[in-house]
Amino acid sequence: MMGETMKIAVSPPIQVGGSLFTPEQLATIGAALGTDAKIEMTPFKQLYLEVPLEQQMLITEELRRSGMEVHPAGFVTKSLIACNFCKGAEEAGLEVARRLNQSIAGIETPMPLKIGYAGCALGTSEPLLKDISVVKMRNTYEIFVGGEPKGLKTSIAQSLVSGLTEDQIVSVVTTLIQFYKDNAKGKEKFKKFIDRVTLEQLQQLIAG
């Protein structure tokens, strides 16, 4: 119907240097939405744009042509929250992070899901405060689950599995997301879900 709006989530591509919008991309957002638009900066390193429902497809195409990623807002996996790749694209696993982002961003989930990536143990992207995180440890990868930054009792993510190769990352993370989708009770947060099903059950899941 005319006058209805919806929110879309916009982010820059995964790149060395972090979440960097170009001036041209910001100008594209401004031109596409107009002067009365509502733009929200989220904790997910995404911009939420409120757009007219009848123009959503056209605006999405414009934003993507300018090099930005566009995904659903709301109860979905967010775009990968990655580090700045300060050790360089190859050493920090930039291509691994890009493949992971393409595989997980925008999947419908019982509650919004934050997935992080750190290219080394410095963890500048705060991986232990994300629902699921991948951390590159020299030549292998470790996955952590159950981080929760909100509330007065912050929860630090626990190590789920280590010693993974880059070819195993996407499969393990998407398996965790699907298991959460299939077994969560209503709008159960991922941290509470893990506490209920136990870390050991998740480890058996990905080992099988």
Under the banding of pLDDT at 50, 70 and 90, the label for residue 2 is low
Average pLDDT, stretch 141-153?
90
Under the banding of pLDDT at 50, 70 and 90, the label for residue 152 is confident
pLDDT of res. 170:
97
Orientation of helix 190-197 relative to helix 199-207, angle to 10°: 80
Is there a single domain that holds both residue 130 and residue 184?
yes
Is there a single domain that holds both residue 63 and residue 116?
no
pLDDT of res. 68:
97
pLDDT of res. 141:
98
| Whether 48 contacts 7, CB under 8 Å | yes
User: CA-CA distance, 180 to 115, in Å (whole number)?
Assistant: 13
Structural domain span for residue 19: 5-72
Is there a single domain that holds both residue 100 and residue 185?
yes
Is there a single domain that holds both residue 46 and residue 102?
no
Domain finish residue from 15, 44, 72: 72
Under the banding of pLDDT at 50, 70 and 90, the label for residue 1 is low
Q: Which residues partner with 181 through β-bridges?
A: none
Domain finish residue from 54, 72, 90: 72
Domain finish residue from 28, 45, 72: 72
Is there a single domain that holds both residue 180 and residue 122?
yes
Is there a single domain that holds both residue 65 and residue 85?
no
* pLDDT tens digit sequence for 58-116: 999 999 999 999 999 999 999 999 999 999 999 999 999 999 999 999 999 999 999 99
Is there a single domain that holds both residue 152 and residue 88?
yes
Is there a single domain that holds both residue 149 and residue 201?
yes
Q: Which residues partner with 40 through β-bridges?
A: 48
Alpha carbon 85 to chain centroid, angstroms: 16
Domain count, the chain: 2
Is there a single domain that holds both residue 182 and residue 94?
yes
Average pLDDT, stretch 180-194?
97
Average pLDDT, stretch 7-24?
95
Q: What is the CATH number of the domain that holds 116?
A: 3.30.413.10
Is there a single domain that holds both residue 125 and residue 143?
yes
* pLDDT tens digit sequence for 26-49: 999 999 998 888 899 998 899 999
pLDDT of res. 75:
96
Q: What is the CATH number of the domain that holds 64?
A: 3.30.70
User: What's the per-residue H, E or C state across the chain?
Assistant: CCCCEEEEEEECCCCCCCCCCCHHHHHHHHHHHCCCCCEEECCCCCEEEEEEHHHHHHHHHHHHHCCCEEEECCCEECCCEECCCCCCHHHHCHHHHHHHHHHHCCCECCCCECEEEECCCCCCCCHHHCCEEEEEECCEEEEEECCECCCCCCECCEEEEEEECCCCHHHHHHHHHHHHHHHCCCCCCHHHHHHHHCHHHHHHHHHC
